Amino acid sequence: MKTQVIVLLLVVCLAGGLNAGDKLYQERLYEPKVLWGDKLAAFYGYPVNEIYLYAWDEAQQSWRMMPFQIDERIRTNNPFNEENLRHFYSIPNDYGVALDDGLFDSDDELVFLVRDMGDRAPEKKWLDNASSKAFSRIELAAGDPEDPSRIAYAYLFRSPTIQEPVPTPYGFVYHSQTDSIETSFYTVKLDEAMGLVKSITIKPPYGTGVDVFDRQKMRVKARLGFGTLGDVQIDATEELIKLLPEYRMITPKPVVRLVREVRVTFQFGEEEVENNLAFFLTTKFYPFNGVVKGGSALDEASLRQAMPGWDNPFLLFEVLRQSWDLSAAAAGMRYYSKHNDGISIDGQPDVVNQQIDRPIREWNLVTGSQGALFTMTTLPDTVAKSISLYFYDNQAGGTGDPDTLGFVDTGEYGSYGDFGLSMYKAKSLDLAFEMYFLPNTVNTAEQASAIARMVEKPVDITPLVTDVARRPAMVSPESYLCVQNYPNPFNQQTLISFSLASAEQVQVTIYDSQGRLIRTLVQATLAAGNHELRWDGCDGRNRVLASGVYFYQLTAGDQIARNKLLLLR
């Protein structure tokens, strides 16, 4: 019943568009927020399943649990290239690294939506839960960067006795057989061969429930050079991209975010080259949008590694076009951009303004009764020598590229509002983009501009640790600052840094993952100022410890902070 009420409220809010109210959480309806654990040091070492996020309703004088999730991550060697470190949400089972230790640390991520935040709670107003009063809480204040007086609030509590389930109004479901993501608002399917988007549907009542998408398209005219051996001309489409089926990692229980990570490469016909050029493509789906990060610089160093024995290989994208082609079901929708206002999508050719401003912060909106699609592309100015808008609306097929390039059509062989970017003398193949799947009430350029501002200027989060009356807060920035050890993971030794505002009795201890004391690094009164301690991965009897997860605990006076360490031998 509670979930049904939440969904009903979402329908009412969405019907009002972007200006549903004057409070920040009523305005920023579509904005997700991700906080790294390094902003939430007071909760280091706490069991993830004992951490809950609440919002305070001033009018009702009551707490409500927010939809949220904590994604545990680990920073470790890339199993496909052990020279590189990266963060993983999941790791293949045969890699031999345990990812989820169940304890919160600086690498983990707290995920929620601004729309689910609330009002500021009174200082002494606590959850009606006795166990929560034994721990500090963290107040999260989300401020509008353009108007700091407008703030939304959320509160992190710890309690081992909360029985209330985390609400799931956004309806995330992953269908592994079709590689598709479904929420209460949209469905997106990915192509089984290329891993790119091939279907987008906005569900009723936010859209008509009709798939309006043909496919992601890419056109490449590139020059692959081998020094004294000469050059090879490459003419390719999106079918150059090849999904590697042996690697696919999916968030197991998504509430407000589903992470899909795959590996893709380029079809060059040689398995060794394809494997060496493979890269991660990470898509993060939120209730109203998807964010893709991934690509390949294909610089000389990576090409030399992929093609050992070849003479100084290089790759230059003379022309690179990436676009989103809609299907005939999109007829009747309209296209907006910074320099184009409401072009009708009807399968008939149009004259468009192809200007792209620098810095490159390009938004596009396609909207109609079918729903609304909003994209935001942010690229460095150095990504290409020149760049222009691509838009092609022609049911007869073909492409909107210059005839001299000789590009051919793919997909349904007819274009309806095919929009994107054309780049010349590009230096990389970057597949990054951000697309919002929105209700059909988002239907003006003004609304699109507001969403673009939200994407470019997200809310700023300020954490404040508070406690019940007369109990000291666990972490007080005014008293000391403890930072994550570096490097982490480490092999030989790691550096633990902290600072004291005044002289304090300090103890720094190392524990294993079972909570057993391993070593005491310091137990003394230290002066105010900055301090550094080194740990060499040995116990108190100077015995070398095995690889694994360890924790260090810093106690200064009556305050405590914890951090996780990863030792890799």
* Measured distance CA(325)–CA(132) in Å, rounded: 51
* Domain identity same for 532 and 495: yes
Confidence of residue 440 (pLDDT cuts 50, 70, 90): very high
How many domains does the chain fold into? 3
- pLDDT score at 304: 64
- Give the sign of the dihedral formed by CA 389, CA 392, CA 398, CA 404: negative
Which of 163-167, 422-426, 539-543 has the least mean pLDDT? 539-543
| Cβ(358)–Cβ(459) below 8 Å | no
Tell me if 449 is assigned to some domain.
Answer: no
Determine, yes or no, domain membership for 434. yes
Q: Is the peptide bond before 402 cis (omega within 30 degrees of 0)?
A: no
Which pLDDT value is given to residue 418? 96
Same domain, 222 and 148: no
Q: Tell me, letter by letter, the H, E, C secondary structure of 159-191.
A: CCCCCCCCCCCCCCEEECCCCEEECCCEEEEEC
Residue 324 · residue 389 · CB < 8 Å: no
Same domain? 288 vs 397: yes
Q: Which span out of 6-10, 80-84, 285-289 was modeled with the highest average pLDDT?
A: 285-289
Helix or strand or coil: residue 96?
coil
Whether residues 234 and 329 share a domain: the answer is yes
What's the domain range around 534?
A: 480-567
Amino acid occupying residue 246: E
Give the 3-state secondary structure of residue 501: coil
Q: Are residues 379 and 423 in the same domain?
A: yes
Mean pLDDT of 271-282: 79
Statement to judge: residues 314 and 341 lie in one domain: yes
**pLDDT tens digit sequence for 108-147:** 999 999 999 999 999 889 999 999 998 889 999 999 988 8
Q: Residue 301 corresponds to which tokens in the numbers above?
A: 């160093």
Q: What value does the mean pLDDT take over residues 274-279?
A: 79
Residue 96's pLDDT is 58
Q: Are residues 149 and 191 in the same domain?
A: no
Please give the Cα distance from 137 to 142 (Å, whole number). 16
**pLDDT confidence of residue 382:** 75
> What's the CATH code of the domain at 534?
2.60.40.4070
CA distance 138 to 213: 43
Q: Say what the pLDDT of residue 9 is.
A: 37
Over residues 158-205, the pLDDT tens digits come to 999 999 999 999 999 999 999 999 999 999 999 988 888 999 999 999
pLDDT of residue 476: 40
Query: Do 399 and 493 belong together in one domain?
Result: no
Q: How confident is the model at residue 14 (pLDDT cuts 50, 70, 90)?
A: very low
Record the tokens describing residue 37, joined without a space. 């654990």
Nearest Cα to Cα of residue 377 among 434, 430, 315:
434
For residue 217, pLDDT over 50 is answered with yes
List, as one string, the DSSP characters of 367-402.
Answer: EETTEEEEEEEEE-GGG-SEEEEEEEEETT---SS-
Q: Are residues 433 and 490 in the same domain?
A: no
Q: Which two tokens stand for residue 115?
A: 């729309």
> What is the CATH classification number for the domain harbouring 365?
2.70.98
pLDDT at 369 over 50: yes
Which pLDDT belongs to residue 309? 64
Query: pLDDT tens-digit profile of 54-98?
Result: 999 999 999 999 999 999 988 777 777 766 777 888 766 655 555
List, for residues 292-343, the tens digit of each pLDDT value. 876 555 555 666 666 666 667 777 788 999 999 999 999 999 999 999 999 9
Residue 32 lies in a domain: yes
Spatial distance between the Cα atoms of 66 and 451, rounded to a whole number of angstroms? 23
Same domain, 309 and 390: yes
What would the pLDDT profile of 449-508 be if each residue is shown by its tens digit?
Answer: 999 999 999 998 988 877 664 343 434 434 455 556 778 888 888 888 888 878 888 889
Helix (H) or strand (E) holding 271: helix 271-277
Establish if 96 belongs to a structural domain: no
Of the residues 434, 466, 498, which one is the last residue of a structural domain?
466
Whether pTM exceeds 0.75: yes
Rg of the Cα atoms in the chain? 26
CA–CA gap between residue 2 and residue 67 (Å, rounded): 12
Q: Are residues 142 and 178 in the same domain?
A: no
| Residues 150 and 178 reside in one and the same domain | no
pLDDT of 502-534, one tens digit each?
888 888 999 887 778 899 998 877 877 778 888
Tell me whether residue 92 is in a domain.
Answer: no
144 occurs within a structural domain: yes
What's the chain's average pLDDT? Answer: 84
For 461-499, b/e burial (b = at least 16 CB within 10 A) is bebebbbeeeeebbbbeebbbbebbeebbbeeebebebe
Q: Which residues pair with 160 in a beta bridge?
A: none
Whether the pLDDT of residue 252 is over 80: the answer is yes
Indicate whether 79 belongs to any domain: no
DSSP code of 544?
Answer: B
Q: Identify whether 296 is part of a domain.
A: yes
